[in-house]
Amino acid sequence: MIGIGSTWGAITFVNALATGVGSAAAIDLPVRAEVEGWTSQGRRATDSIEPACDSDLTRAALAAARGLWFPGDGTSLRLSVRSTLPPGRGLKSSSAVAAAILLAGAGAAGAPVDREAIARTTAEVNRRVGLSETGAFDDALASLEGGVVVTNNRRQLVLRRDVLPRDWKVVLWIPPTSHAPSPSLAHRFAEERERGQAAVAAAELGRWLDALEANSALVERVMGYDYGLLRGDLRRRGALGSGVSGMGPSLAAIVREEHLAEIRATFPSTLGDIVPVGFVAPARPPSAP
C-alpha cells in the first residue's frame, strides 16, 4: 500500500496572528510525501522516516496519520518527503509538509479524502509541535486545495474561497535568514489587532491587493523589516502589489507577465533568491463555505 500526497506552498494576504483571521493563496512550489504501509505479519508495527526529512513535524504528522487511519492494525509505515520550500521563510513549509503527509497516509489506507478535515488536522499538528500559534488553518487549506482562502483560524471556519486573476504571477524574494516560530511572537501581533482588521476586511471583500499591502505594513512594523523603499520601487516598476509572506523574511510581488523581468531585476539578487512562480488554481470550483 503506497499513498502519495501532493501539496503546494502559499503566500500570505493576511497574517492570522493579529486577529485570528488569515488568508493565503497557493503557489506552484510543490511538496510530495509518500507513505508506504505493509502488514507486519505478527511483528510489532513500526514507523520509519527517511533521515533527510526526519523532524519533530514529520514525526508528529505521521503519528497523526497513524491515529486516523492505522490505529492498532499491525501496519508498519515508511515516510519520505520531497519539498521545494525552504523552512522558516514564510512560504508555509510546515503546513504544506504536514498536509502532504496526512494526504499520503489517507491514500495508503485507501481512505476517502476530505481536504478540509485534513487541513484541520494539519493545524492541530502544527500547534502541537510549537510551529504555529493559530495552527495556520488558512495556510493548510490553501496548500491542499489551491486557490485563495480566508479562514477564521481560531474556530477553523472557512469564510471565503476564491480564484485569483489568471494573469497574476508572483515573484518571490527569499532572503537566507529564517523567522522564529510564531508562538514566540504572538504577543507582539496581538497588540496590532485594530490595524489587522483593515487587512481582514479587504480580504473578506476579495480586495486581495489592498489586503496584501495593509498586512505587510503591519508585519514589517512588528518584525522590524525595512522593506518600504524596496516595495516602493516594485510598485513604480509595475508590481500590482507586494507584501511580506507569513512572518517573512520572504517578500512576494504580484505582477503581470509583461513586468516579470523588470520586477525580478528590482530585487537585490546578492541578498537572497529570486523565484518567479504562478498561483495554483483551486482543485474544485470556489463555493460558499
**pLDDT, tens digit (0-9, with 9 covering 90-100), for 78-87:** 999 999 999 9
Phi–psi pair at 192, nearest 5 degrees:
-105, 20
Distance CA 151, CA 289 (A): 10
Assigned architecture for domain 2-162: 2-Layer Sandwich (3.30)
Instruction: Give span(s): CATH 3.30.70.890, the chain.
Output: 168-278
Q: Which helix (H) or strand (E) holds 189?
A: helix 186-190
> Among 245, 62, 88, 279, which Cα is nearest to 170's?
279
Instruction: Note the pTM of the prediction, 2 decimals.
Output: 0.93
Query: Residue 42's pLDDT is what?
Result: 63
Cell of 133: 500559534
Kindly give the interhelix angle for 193-204 and 208-223, rounded to the nearest 10 degrees.
160
The DSSP string of 96-152 is HHHHHHHHHHHHHHTPPP-HHHHHHHHHHHHHHTTS-SS--HHHHHHHHH-SEEEEE
Neighbours of 95 (CB within 10 A): 34
* CB-based contact 219:248 (threshold 8 Å): yes
The 3-state DSSP class for residue 159 equals strand
Distance CA 180, CA 119 (A): 22
Q: What is the DSSP letter of 279?
A: B
Instruction: Give span(s): CATH 3.30.230.10, the chain.
Output: 2-162
Lowest mean pLDDT among 136-140, 210-214, 230-234, 269-273: 269-273
Model confidence pLDDT, tens digit, residues 25-81: 999 999 999 999 988 666 778 899 999 999 999 999 999 999 999 987 788 999 999
Dihedral sign for Cα 211, 157, 103, 55, please.
positive
The fold for domain 168-278 equals Alpha-Beta Plaits (3.30.70)
> Among 286, 285, 277, 281, which Cα is nearest to 91's?
277
Model confidence pLDDT, tens digit, residues 130-151: 988 888 999 999 999 999 999 9
